[in-house]
Structure 1
């Protein structure tokens, strides 16, 4: 399988090395286990002769314009954590050229994959229009605002949609590489994950800081503050709208446009966040914690955590 790794100037060091190490480890393990016919032919390509990483390392690359169409093109993220510099970077000539190259390869049948902020580059190139995708969780409000045609689900670490694979924040570059290895050989992907000492993860929800997302909009931030004060009560959209001096329709619309969630779903997020915090920092029983976040029984809280985080109470407390 031919894999082109398209590196842009300012590439996230860990993202680039994680995918290189994952594919390199898979190749070595394939050789060791008699699967030498299964090999990932990696090539780092770029739009310049030499790419400089975020930390100033120089990476020689093959000119993308002269490279053959790959089976997979994987683009590690450029390292922009805040909306303002990211928006400026998206307007650069390099990002526009990268988008044109990605569209060309995609049109010739290549699978396209990226993680974290790299999802913005794919969206700028219209490669995610009409597709499901994920992105780095803290930039989801900006993504949702800029690319309304993309069906965004930032709670997931990996989203596979037709010929595009997207991954969540930062270290999900490793999840992305393992996903691509798994498409070629589930057994090799499992072995590679064991050698790299990493687990299969499916959700970013456990890492999301809910109030960070709420700060993207004043009304959403007000709702977040109100909700935290009423976690132990049953949720009422009527009460929430009245407390914020707005209409139910306006509140629901703003929540959807900023967070892609209903007020009730976000309220549940805050309950989950509070419950996890108490599980990690107190010796209270599950039933006691459930009551504090508004559930009559601990079994309801257990089911909520399992559904939203993909793990249970024992796993949460075991990982302290």
Structure 2
């Protein structure tokens, strides 16, 4: 299986090394299995002979060959992390050649993966239009604004919408690499994950910071403030719309376009966030915590936490 890892000037050091190291660990562990899977042939490619990473390291790079046909190409994150810096990075002349290579490989039915900020680069090509994708939870508002034709599900860590695979933030580069290994051998992917101490992390929901996302739109930010003041009360869309000075329809539309959620869905996210905070910072009973975030009893709250985060109250209380 031939895998090309694309290195762009300013590539995130961790993203590049996480993908390459995970694939190389898999190759070293493969002989432990019987039968042993064929090796993964990993090549770092780009449009330059060498690139400088975000932290200033120099990495030798082989030239992208438009005629080659690897089994997969993978793009690690770009270095910038703020929306303005990311949008500026996407305008780099170097990326025109990278996008052209992605489109050419997609036409050859090559498996294409991207993680974190590189998911925006993949979306820039138009290849993701009509597909479901994920990105880092904190990039979701920017992603939705720039690529409305992509069905974004930022709650998930990894999404396969053949032949494209997208992954979330920094540590999701490991998930992306393990996905490549899994295509060669599920047993090898499981073994590699055990050696790397990588747990199954299907969702990003436990890591998202709702108020960070809300700041992407002033109206959504006002709604977030109203919601936090009313967590212990029942949700009423009409009251929320009046409080933030807009119509119910406009409020729902802005929440959907910015966060991909309904007003009630975001309200519930804030309840979950506050409940987790109380569980981890106080000795209040589960029933008392449930009351403070507007639920009738602890049973309802337990079920919600399990459904939203995949974690129990005991798990949350033992996590610092």
Is the TM-score greater than 0.5?
A: yes
- Summarize the Cα distance change of 1:3–1:35 in structure 2 as closer, same or farther, 3 Å threshold: farther
Alignment partners' CA distance in 2, 1:192 and 1:296 = 44
Deviation at 1:65, TM superposition (A): 2.5
Deviation at 1:230, TM superposition (A): 0.3
Superposition pairs of residues 132-147 of structure 1, within 5 angstroms = 132-147=132-147
Deviation at 1:190, TM superposition (A): 1.0
Aligned residue in 1 for 2:76:
76
Deviation at 1:66, TM superposition (A): 6.0
Aligned residue in 2 for 1:168:
168
Aligned residue in 1 for 2:252:
252
Aligned residue in 1 for 2:112:
112
Aligned residue in 1 for 2:199:
199
- Conservation of the 8 A alpha-carbon contact between 1:134 and 1:154: yes
Alignment partners' CA distance in 2, 1:259 and 1:66 = 37
Aligned residue in 1 for 2:240:
240
Deviation at 1:67, TM superposition (A): 6.7
- 1:280 equivalent to 2:280? Answer yes
- Conservation of the 8 A alpha-carbon contact between 2:11 and 2:77: yes
Deviation at 1:35, TM superposition (A): 4.1
Cα RMSD (Å): 1.1
Partner SS, residue 112 of structure 1? strand
Aligned residue in 1 for 2:153:
153
TM-score by length of 1: 0.98
Alignment: residue pair count: 320
TM-score by length of 2: 0.98
Where do 4+ consecutive residues of structure 1 move more than 6 Å? none
Aligned residue in 2 for 1:210:
210
Aligned residue in 2 for 1:38:
38
Aligned residue in 1 for 2:6:
6
Unaligned runs of 5+ in 1: none
- Conservation of the 8 A alpha-carbon contact between 2:33 and 2:188: no
Alignment partners' CA distance in 2, 1:125 and 1:98 = 10
Alignment partners' CA distance in 2, 1:65 and 1:286 = 59
Aligned residue in 2 for 1:184:
184
Partner SS, residue 226 of structure 1? helix
